[in-house]
Structure formats: structure tokens, C-alpha cells
Amino acid sequence: MSAVPGRAVLTQTRMELILTFRRGENVLITIVVPIVLLVFFASLGLIPASRFGPLDYLVPGILALAIVSTGMVNLGIATAYERYYGVLKRLGGSPLPRWGLLIAKALSVLVLELIQLVLLLAVAALGYGWRPHDGQPALALLALVLGTIAFSAIGLAMAGTLRAEATLAIANGLYLLFLLLGDVLLPTDHLPVLLRPLSQLLPATALSDLLRFAFTGGGPFPVGALIVLAVWTVAALAFTARTFRWE
């Protein structure tokens, strides 16, 4: 990467972050909602009993939900409206290469996720005395990277193929689906029997299970979850690369 494109990418990254924080709905879905859910469910003890303690179950699930909100909802909807209003087309013709724009968007997602991670872990630690048990940082990092790529690719797949209004509706619908069935707030063994196989195939469930194991240990290594998340990551990337349209 030459110096000029490098500076242009950093400038675009800064602009992506500024635009994100200027949109109240983006701040709500990426920062406020995960913290509110963590505080609400941790304070009221609404998490069903499981082999994990309430916070050991809740914190990794909320972290997974935060990645869903940043990669799929925030990035997907924002990119869809940029495409709708012709912003992507104009940026594609600017001195900033198209790959530079994609890198800038990826960097902005990573910065937002870092902010989410710090805030959520701080609330859990300072507010409830939670600490990871038998933590496995390498697995946690792998899960976060795969989850970020998978959900960002899903968001871009919608943004690059659907109308902006459809992306808005579907992204929010999927967010609700992952919240309810993605092993975030409700263990899969508490779901209706017919829904459990579907839950096990969702990328949110796989990410939640991997983060839960990485932060708390216990039980067998979630090989199935790692395979499911890896398949979603590869499939979403391939689909996005093949179908994304700039205008």
C-alpha cells in the first residue's frame, strides 16, 4: 500500500466512524442496546439456570450480539443507503481505490467492536464482579475475527444486492432472530424442540458458543460451532464477492 492510498484509507476510516457516531440509530444498536441488555438481564437474574453461571453465560452472548449489530446491521444498512444515494458510485470513481474503501469500512467495524468489547467487559467487571474463567485468548480472538468477517459479509451481501429499504427490514429481522434463537439470552436447550436444530445452524449460535467456551472453559471443545461459523464465513464472503454491486 503506497503512502497516498494509505493516508486516504485512514481518512476514509475516520469519516466512516464520524458518520456512524452522528447517526443516533447506529449508536443505539451498536453501543447502547448491548449494554442495556447486559445490565437488564444481569440485574434481574432472568437467565435460565444452566451449566454456566448467569454472567458466564450472558457476557459472551452479549459480545456475540454486539458483533452482529456492528457487522451486519450497522455496516449493512449504512452501505445499502450509500449505494442507494449513489455515494458508493462516487467513491468508486475517487482517487481512493475500491479496495481501499472496503478496508476503511473493515477498520471502522474493528474500531467499533473494540469500543464495544471494552465497554461490555468494563460493565461486567466493575458492575457485577465478573471475570473470565480458564480464558483462552487465542480461541476468543479467532472467534471474534471469524464472527466479524461473517456478519460483515452478510451485511454487505444484503447491501450490495437489495434495495436499501429491504436491507433495513431484513437486517433488523435477522438481528431479532439471532437475539431470540442465537444462544445469546436463551440457551438452546430451553427452545422448543423443533427450533433447536435451526438454532445450531445459525452463525450467532456458533459465535456465542465459541466465545462462551473461550471465556469460561468447561465441557467439550465446540468443534461443531467452529465448523458452522467457518462455513458461514467462507460462504458469506464468496457470495458477497460474486454479487456485490456498487450502484
- Whether residue 205 is predicted with pLDDT greater than 60 in this model: the reply is yes
Task: Give the per-residue pLDDT at 68.
Answer: 95
At 223, the pLDDT band (50, 70, 90 cuts) reads: very high
Highest mean pLDDT among 72-86, 121-135, 194-208: 194-208
pTM of the predicted protein model: 0.89
Highest mean pLDDT among 41-55, 86-100, 195-209: 195-209
In this structure, the number of other CB atoms found within 10 A of the CB of residue 6 comes to: 12
Domain that holds residue 29: 3-243
Q: Dihedrals φ, ψ of 217, to 5°?
A: 65, -165
Give, in order, the Cα–Cα distances in Å from 151 to each of 22, 34, 104, 245: 22, 16, 16, 18
Domain count within the chain: 1
